[in-house]
Amino acid sequence: MIAVSRETIVVASAARTPFGRFGGPMSGFRLPQLGSVAAREALRRAAIEAGDVDEVIVGVNLPGSDRSIARQLALQTDVPDDRVAYSVDRACCSSLTAISLGVRALRSGDVATVVAGGVENLSRVPYFLEDMRWGKRLGHVELVDQLVISCPHTGVPRAVQAGEEALLHDVSREEQDAWAFRSQTRAAAAIERGAFDAEIIAIEAGDVPGEADGVAVDESPRPSVTMAGLAKLRTVYGSPTVTAGTAPGLSTGAAFTVLVTAADADRRGLRPLAAMLGTARVSAAPAQIASVPATAIRLALADAGKTLDDVDLIEINEAFAAVPLVSTLLLGDRDPTTVDRLRAMTNVNGGSIALGHPTGATGARLVMTMAHELRRRGGGIGVVGICGGIGEAESVVIEVVAGAD
């Protein structure tokens, strides 16, 4: 049993789909259908019936032409139709925000069982004809593509924001290439030793819309990447440093957790994945996407009553290679020894540059990746940080107690 107070909120279980490549075999999934695959599996792993779920919270960033994603997903997961479900859009933070909101709801005593996570299918995001409601008599018609990823407030491409902030903190293009190479090689090694197997529920052949074959593994990793190859890539969208190699691909995937109190877990005889010790949600200037996770991490640690010295592992989402590099630099107060120590414990199994980044789902993936790695190491404390939106970030602190397995 989890060795924390009975009021502590715990992750009873977690599951995710493979993260599919852009335009790949998972591209036909509607969001509620794909999300229900992971939500059903998370409930199955916790041995909790869908009828016991009080609330479903779903992070989604780019729903395309669909709507009421959480409500549809809850019903497709067989959650009773009198239960509350709602969607959260906090850009890439969305599923981590969903988990934090679930923790808050449980702490308030309003609910007893929450399904929280996120889903995204960037392959299904349509083009938009924003000015065609009343038709056109003359002139060109413009199709708007939301997958040209720019800040909706300033119009500046995210890659430009990340690259400029990297240079502001003296993080070079070469350092970013090296981090991307590290992400790919570490992810390849983790996949080889089965580090992600406990997270993933395979998509069976009959479940994939329009496809004969299923999907059982993440499709984006490129283990053959070399430093020389990364160095040859041109920067994108006018960024001073960011290339296609130092950014994740556009992905499809879903990731969900089941949250309960430690007392309820004990009553059910569950062996939780992790305890939720602290959460934080912050905002900053729109361009600060590479540094704002550091702010969130510090606040989440304070909420948990912990410091960086207590932390065994860190996950910082690789929205770009610049993000973990800048954030660890600031967390380490620019002291080279401290920064090196923090980076050594950050994204030890690679990150989104290799695994893919379905924006609404990634935060929940980081939590389960962290929890499983801590369990393999015999327990410990981990902190997750992710940037998103217009200068936003989210962070959670989790603990896996030694001997939890």
Facing residues of 350 across strands? 348
| Annotated catalytic residue, options 93, 151, 372, 387 | 387
Can 151 be counted among the known catalytic residues?
A: no
Q: How many angstroms separate the CA atoms of 234 and 50, rounded?
A: 49
Can 387 be counted among the known catalytic residues?
A: yes
List alpha helices for 305-376, DSSP H. Answer: 322-331, 336-344, 352-355, 362-376
Q: How many angstroms separate the CA atoms of 74 and 362, rounded?
A: 20
- Residue type at 323? V
The number of CA neighbours under 13 Å toward the Cβ of 86 is 9
Can 153 be counted among the known catalytic residues?
A: no
Q: How many angstroms separate the CA atoms of 398 and 167, rounded?
A: 32
Helix, strand, coil shares of the chain, percent, nearest 5, are 35, 20, 40
Kindly report the length of the chain: 405
Please give the full DSSP string across 139-203, using - where no structure is assigned: S----EETTS-B-TTT--BHHHHHHHHHHHTT--HHHHHHHHHHHHHHHHHHHHTTTTTTTB--B
Mapped onto helix, strand or coil, the DSSP state of residue 309 is helix
| Annotated catalytic residue, options 93, 151, 357, 372 | 357
| Annotated catalytic residue, options 92, 93, 151, 372 | 92
Q: What amino acid positions are annotated as catalytic residues?
A: 92, 357, 387
